[in-house]
Amino acid sequence: MIKSTKSVGIIGTGSFVPEKVLTNNDLEKLVDTSDEWIRKRTGISERHVLDEDVPNYTMGIEAAKRALEDAGVEPEEIDLIIVSTETPDYMSPSMACIIQGAIGAVNAAAFDINAACTGFIYSLSVAQQFIANGVYKHALVIGCEGLSKIVDWKDRNTCILFGDASGAVVLGVVDEGYGILDLFLGSNGAEGMKITIPNLYISEEEKKKRPNGKFNSLWMDGKEVFKFAVKAMSTATMHVLDNLNLDISELDFIFPHQANTRIIDGAIKKLGITDDKIHYIINKYGNISSASIPVAMDEAQRKGKLKKGDNMLLVAFGGGLTWGSMAIKWNK
């Protein structure tokens, strides 16, 4: 269990998805695929994508504004901004700094984290430490991903999976016994090349994986990632539950990273739970990487599904390879 002087929890949520929708039928015109094939293997019906000339950080700005409004916190009251992203518009400045300037959070330190699809949990864990230790009072954590810009639209194995979105939360001090209860982070860099997005360097071996010539595109070994994901999600879940002496039946909600319904189904089967505790969004948004958990949480909260005192678990896996989980007692 986390040992700190202050209890830290989520006091506001917000999200944003672009208006433009790309359906499975639309993809049939781009690659050799079908609506039935995609639905059966991924659970995805459609995804939202940004226009090519719109920067990804614009999604993060909007999600941040909505989270601040929900929390009743002014931009000037934010001490720290962390953005989780594997699709930054610039190497420098960071997406966090761009968003800080755009929303007027003039007192906030700002930086990005890249732990791929696990990045939101990694970012929450960092922000939690600053507030629990009394260094900062409020933190804004954002998952912002524009994956449509780094997929190869001629590769049917990957282009059918991803969408664009941003989700944000405001963290602050909450009543004792509420908020973030425990967390777990893991990584295995030795297996990291199973999911790659080259940037300033690409090996000849990596070039061969991209026969269409788009060398900065996302590539992954789907079969190996599937096996890793199911195991990682179930292991990370049990790690925090065991630490808290909490039975899985005592969880009210699980917010997993949503990459593929078959991965989620495999994990919950391994854990021996039913899917009624999961708020699914993958069917309409696709895999939105580190934005998937905060977008799902925001949607569930605004639909009135979350109640004060609910036990929830966040769990994710991603490139790196990385994985992590976090137990929260909802305080709103």
| Active site positions, annotated | 117, 257, 287
* 309 contacts: CB under 8 Å, gap ≥ 6: 178, 329, 330
| DSSP output for 272-328 | T--GGGB---HHHH-B-GGGHHHHHHHHHHHTT---TT-EEEEEEEETTTEEEEEEE
Coil, helix or strand at residue 219? strand
The C-alpha atoms of residue 158 and residue 177 are separated, in whole angstroms, by 42
Evaluate whether 123 touches 326 at the Cβ level (below 8 Å): no
> Exposed, middle or buried, 205 (CB in 10 Å: 0-12/13-18/19+)?
exposed
Element (H, E) at 110: strand 109-113
The C-alpha atoms of residue 212 and residue 155 are separated, in whole angstroms, by 8
* 213 contacts: CB under 8 Å, gap ≥ 6: none
Instruction: Please list the residues that pair with 325 across neighbouring strands.
Output: 184, 315
The C-alpha atoms of residue 310 and residue 292 are separated, in whole angstroms, by 20
Supply φ then ψ for residue 320, to 5 degrees. 135, -50
Q: Are strands 164-173 and 46-48 parallel, antiparallel or unpaired?
A: unpaired
Evaluate whether 143 touches 289 at the Cβ level (below 8 Å): yes
The C-alpha atoms of residue 237 and residue 242 are separated, in whole angstroms, by 9
